[in-house]
Amino acid sequence: MTPALTDRTPKQFKFEREKSRPIVVNFQGGTVTSDAGLSLIVELDRRREITSRLALCFKDSRDENRIAHSICGLIAQRVYGLIMGYEDLNDHEQLRHDMMFALAKYIGTMKS
């Protein structure tokens, strides 16, 4: 009998880590998301430095003592939202609580 494709599916994946707890993805059930592809997009962005190079095109004239989010972070948020199909900025109010977008922010801060 030929084994089903699911028989060869790894039990879990581990992302590379940088001086912190490892990020592990498994198939145990629990909270499910349709935005899991975002982690691959962020990894590509991190390695190619797409949003960070784009951020260099902007002059940030805000008061440094009052900045909560960097220009690079704001650009990444917008680009990732558009890629994942969230066209309206209003969606980001909900997405800031989404675990995949939190993971994306974490992966985006890791060094290459």
Give the other-Cβ count within 10 Å of 66's Cβ.
Answer: 6
pLDDT in tens, 35-89: 778 988 998 999 999 999 999 999 999 999 999 989 998 999 999 999 999 988 8
In this prediction the pTM is 0.66
Per-domain residue ranges for the chain?
36-58+70-112
pLDDT in tens, 22-36: 777 776 767 667 777
Does the pLDDT of residue 1 top 60, yes or no? Answer: no
Strand-pair category, 12-14 with 24-26: antiparallel
Residue with tokens 């992966």: 107
Closest to 84 measured CA to CA, from 58, 70, 103: 103
Contacts of 46 (CB under 8 A, 6+ apart): 107, 108, 110, 112
